[in-house]
Structure 1
Amino acid sequence: MGVHIEPHNPDWFIEVARVKAHLQAILRDAPFMSIEHVGSTAIPGLVAKPVLDIGIVGRPEDLPALRKAMVEGGYTDQGDCGIPSRIAFQPPPVPGLTMQRNTYVVADGCLSLRNHLDVRRVLLMDQSLRDEYAQVKKALVTSGVADVDEYCRGKTEILLKILRQAGWTQDDLEQVHKANA
């Protein structure tokens, strides 16, 4: 099936604003802390798969209430998919929302959230790392990676480099490496 990436599109931010408004309506009575746009579509100038990554951040004790609100809002609960403190959801079709999206409820401070936020922060600040990351992504797609899992594994070393720059400990880096293996 392969992986498709494209140049950054400023319209992605418009779609994110629509997604956030939709989620805020669903979560109006739920205890969430923030809704974060993460992943490559959150980085201006970076090539990306045209898929939004959205993280709904909550305190660990509030994840059950957030999970319930998401299901009641029409999202399909896909469980943690092997990633602790993160619940994946398949979004329902929503009029006005056209992009594919990965939607997660994540515990504040968990490794998965720290990963997303630190990669976003470092890439927004460091043009050379952003360029290097883009080159790795382009090379993987050009090489004909078979699927998204192979694509993600192929990005592991550059992601570890980015997280090292973010100040991650060796123990945390090993957890990321293991999760991406």
Structure 2
Amino acid sequence: MSNTTPELDEPIHVVPYDPTWAALGRALAERLAAGLRGLPGAVGGAVEVEHIGSTSVPGLAAKPVLDVQVGCAAGDVEAVAGHVRGLGFEDLGESGVPGRRYLRRRSEQSANVHVVALGGRLWADNLLFRDHLRAHPEAAARYARAKREAAGATGRLLAYSEHKAATVAELLAEARAAGA
């Protein structure tokens, strides 16, 4: 699916940090990991699950949507995505990010699952970005400003993502230069 798929675009809003997000993200990651361990073959043994995104950074304003990253062998992405679909998530394919399967659930606690190659560039970048924001409050504050500005200017997911893309790229470059 391309990143212009109408189903992908949705209304968004950014809210102040909610301290329950850490526990909710951890619980979702644990549920996914437990379910994936039960899969046959190599899939269950080579999977890691991490709470990522803004809801994983204490104090950071965010869309009230948990983001969880599932890392697995590149050849297992389809099987893992199939399992996540079976848990009630809608599969939106790569959604404009080659190498990533994007699944979402919109319910009382909305969530996104990103299935990527374990140890690959997307896996590493998402963890590096999260850890950089956690360790550098000034970077998190800059990102929060960009997020609020983007949400206020656009109100829609795709335009929001595009609006804050330069700030994300700058922060990721800083994280790489700092080594985390």
**If the length of structure 1 is used for normalisation, what is the TM-score?**
0.78
Where structure 1 has 5 or more consecutive residues not aligned to the other structure, the ranges are: 169-181
Aligned pairs for 1:9-158 (under 5 A) are 9-30=18-39, 31=43, 32-91=46-105, 98-142=108-152, 144-158=153-167
User: What amino acid is aligned across from residue 63 of structure 2 in structure 1?
Assistant: K
Distance (Å, rounded) in 2 between the aligned partners of 1:153 and 1:163: 15
Aligned residues: 163
How far apart in 2 are the matches of 1:56 and 1:115? 13
Query: Structure 2: where are the runs of 5+ without partners?
Result: 1-9
Residue identity over aligned pairs, in percent, reads 28
Evaluate the alpha carbon distance shift between residue 82 and residue 3 of structure 1 in structure 2; reply closer, same or farther with a 3 A threshold: closer
1:119 CA displacement: 1.1
Distance in 2 (CA, whole Å) between partners of 1:15 and 1:82 is: 27
Cα deviation, residue 124, structure 1: 1.0
Q: 1:14 to 1:136 in 2, by over 3 A?
A: same
CA apart distance, 1:92: 8.2
Q: What SS class does the counterpart of residue 37 from structure 2 fall into? A: coil
How many angstroms does 1:102 deviate by?
0.7
More displaced, 3-12 or 80-89? 80-89
Checking the alignment, whether the CA contact within 8 Å between 1:74 and 1:92 is kept in structure 2 is no
SS of the residue corresponding to residue 15 of structure 2 reads coil
Deviations 1:118-177 (A, max 9, x none): 2101111111111111112222233x3141111111111111111111227xxxxxxxxx
- Matched residue type, 1:50: P
CA-based RMSD: 2.2
> Is residue 13–residue 155 contact of structure 2 (8 Å, CA) maintained in 1?
no
**Gap change, CA 1:130 and 1:74, over 3 Å in 2:** closer
Q: Is the CA contact 1:27–1:66 (under 8 Å) kept in the aligned structure 2?
A: yes
User: What SS is found at the alignment partner of 1:5?
Assistant: coil
TM-score between both structures, scaled by the size of structure 2: 0.79
What secondary structure does 1:166 align onto? Answer: helix
